[in-house]
A and B are shown apart, each in its own frame.
Chain A
């Protein structure tokens, strides 16, 4: 498919999804002072009586959400991705362990966050949340898919963590194709036979561009939007293994513990397969315009294409 040019930030999709979900009276929204940033402010403006402001106190917010879930509500609690990490143990012990369906959204995920600097650029959230039993981990690539995947959480039944991005990215879906998305099922955006680029979040559009570059060099690359990191779509990985020579993973996240690790864990324990990873190379970010910084950190189409060439050339 060709990528529509119009774009939005995935956090905008989250905000719109909350409004769509508002029809269900069980839905409540919890904020920790960053509603204008996460876009839960859209829900607050329409439904203040179902919005709970908890101030800059993320640990409290997570357990308030758990208490509400135990009382029949469907809570959506959001703050910056990095600040959800402050309440990691609350998510583990207070939400996931009792099996309460609280939906956490961490916005401003990754290096893509840009000028705020390294304190705000969470590059470990996918890794840590992936270790919690029963917690679904999602990182959509654009505003439309963020909206669709968030709406699907309503009857998801277990707790989830969704990472959204601060800045706009090109749309990978349109109002029709987005309806094909399903939590837990990777989305094939481009078919290819030599190498597969399995990407998530803001790196999906870079993966598409990398595939175009490779096409000019005679390398056929497929592109997967692996929006759900957990549960991982292992059936799709099996298909890729049967069709391509190897996988390049691409994520705006540490190469330790995130999408690349999840893919590698599955493939290496089920027979082995060439894998190259694009991600943050075990270092913190810094301030910079988003695009400058992404280049500086190696989170680019060029990096993806280079890794793909490594695979193709080594076969």
Chain B
């Protein structure tokens, strides 16, 4: 079966609603599992909703369709964000989400292409996804395919040296089909990024590596959709979107709070979160 030639064409209000529905999935599945990473899932979900709702070409009936666009979730601990969008796109169902992190679940702790239809990369070890995406994009070019490869990394992840190897290589090979999104939520596992090891002006640094770069508010859906469109048509060379986000966005007590990087909400916190998201 042929996939869509174009991505979905959701409106801004529809995308905002999609992201909100996903936020509820995220907090619920992490609460049920008693473990997971809410902060980085909530910071990333607006961008992911925008990507799946407007640009990404995929086929639920044929997940391995070779000309699908790739979404490489390199910050694989934010797997609930991916599973929530795959639920809304039809790859997964509510039962799947409810087994997150349980033995035998298609929803593994970190996203894993071996376990889940619609997942294009096995993540969990930070710093590897951009290189993988570069490989996907090089293969697409060799195949004369117009499929795009979208890679999302975290800002703490940018501390990994391999990211810079890949940034350099993508420019050298002039791989226009490769798109990078940096979820700049300013918090990593132990603390704020500027406490652990500040990565600074990521936009200028990546630009100096030869990439097309755009900075946006990663929670403004108009800006997100505009930037995704820009990245698809930015012309020659790879393109990066630096999305300034808020860790835990949408749940007041998780926002900008390092302690909710990798902690599940308890019963009371879940009720509060769902109330805020309703």
- Spell out A's residues near B (CB within 8 Å): 28, 49-50, 52, 54-55, 57, 59-73, 75, 89-90, 93-94, 97-99
Contact = CB atoms under 8 A, between A and B. Distances in A.
Contacts of B165: 54-55, 57, 59-60
Residue picked from B112, B132, B143, B166, most chain A C-beta under 10 Å: B132
Interface stretch (B11-19, B77-85, B122-130, B255-263): B122-130
Interface string B15-48: 0000000000000000000000000000000000
A49 to B, nearest CB: 7
A62 B131 CA distance: 8
B216 interface: no
Interface stretch (B134-142, B190-198, B267-275): B134-142
Interface in B186-206: none
Contact of A67 (B127, B139, B162, B172): B139
Contact of A64 (B70, B113, B122, B131): B131
B169 interface: yes
B104 interface: no
Contact of B161 (A59, A64, A89): A59
B66 A68 contact: no
A28 B139 CA distance: 9
A59 B169 CA distance: 12
A228 to B, nearest CB: 24
Q: Size band of the B side of the interface?
A: 35 or more
A63 B140 contact: no
B142 A49 contact: yes
A64 B140 CA distance: 12
B187 to A, nearest CB: 24
Given A50-B142, A93-B124, A97-B122, A63 B114 contact: no
Interface in B171-190: 172-173
B133 interface: yes
B157 interface: no
A67 B134 contact: yes
A57 to B, nearest CB: 4
Contact of B114 (A61, A66, A90, A99): A99
A64 B143 contact: no
Contact of A93 (B128, B137, B173): B128
Contact of B136 (A50, A52, A67): A67
Contacts of A73: 139, 142
B131 A98 contact: no
A67 B114 contact: no
Interface in B146-173: 149, 161-162, 165-166, 168-169, 172-173
A97 B166 CA distance: 21
A64 B128 contact: no
Nearest to B129: A63
A93 to B, nearest CB: 4
Contacts of B121: 70, 98
Contact of B135 (A55, A63, A93): A63
A70 B124 contact: no
Contacts of A89: 125
B140 A60 contact: no
A70 B132 contact: yes
Nearest to B167: A60
A28 B142 contact: yes
Contact of B168 (A28, A55, A63, A94): A55
Nearest to A56: B165
B136 A63 contact: no
Q: Which 3 A-B pairs have the closest CB atoms?
A: A67-B135, A63-B131, A71-B139
Nearest to B172: A55
A59 B133 CA distance: 14
Contacts of B122: 93-94, 97-98
Nearest to B149: A67
Contacts of A98: 112-114, 121-122
Contacts of B136: 67-68, 70-71
A43 to B, nearest CB: 14
Contacts of A28: 139, 142
10 contacts: A52-B173, A55-B165, A57-B165, A59-B131, A59-B165, A66-B135, A67-B139, A68-B139, A72-B66, A93-B122
B131 A70 contact: no
Given A59-B165, A64-B169, 14 more contacts: A28-B142, A63-B128, A63-B129, A63-B131, A63-B132, A65-B135, A66-B135, A67-B72, A69-B135, A71-B66, A71-B139, A72-B143, A98-B112, A98-B121
